Amino acid sequence: MTSSVAKKVVYETLAPLVGKVDTLVLGCTHYPLLRPIIQNVMGPNVKLIDSGAECIRDVSVLLNYFEINRSRTQDDVTHAFYTTASSQSFKEIAVNWLAKDIDVQHVDLKKLNK
């Protein structure tokens, strides 16, 4: 994500914070994709924390603590993909990234709330 629109939106959003913070938490799933732009806007002295990476570390600690982690081969692993957006769009992007065919299920939030 290095489009001029992305750069403009990041700059306009973060400009009021420049020089006022020393750490910025990337608290949404897509923010790490914008990390280079965010770092450029905020400057090299601002530490960026990827909340997803922190979450993975915490989960790893818990898996070890409760001794529920185990080695698996790729044949043992089952992946399930769910999205509230377009399952076809999600699948197209995921297949490109994962380099394998996947099944994606759409979740209708309106039906979940009933």
Sequence spans of domains, the chain: 4-62, 72-112
Say what the pLDDT of residue 2 is.
62
Joined tokens for residue 79: 């992946």
Say what the pLDDT of residue 110 is.
85
Q: What is the pLDDT of residues 90-111, one digit of tens each?
A: 898 888 888 889 999 999 888 8
Backbone φ and ψ of 103, nearest 5°: -105, 130
Q: What is the pLDDT of residues 40-91, one digit of tens each?
A: 999 999 999 998 888 888 988 998 888 887 666 666 678 899 999 899 998 9
* In the predicted structure, residue 1 carries a pLDDT above the cut 60: no
What spatial distance separates the first Cα and last Cα of the chain, rounded to whole Å? 37
Say what the pLDDT of residue 35 is.
94
* In the predicted structure, residue 38 carries a pLDDT above the cut 60: yes
Say what the pLDDT of residue 72 is.
60
Query: Was domain 4-62 assigned CATH 3.40.50.1000?
Result: no
Asked if 56 contacts 32 with a C-beta cutoff of 8 angstroms, the reply is no
Say what the pLDDT of residue 32 is.
86
Say what the pLDDT of residue 71 is.
64
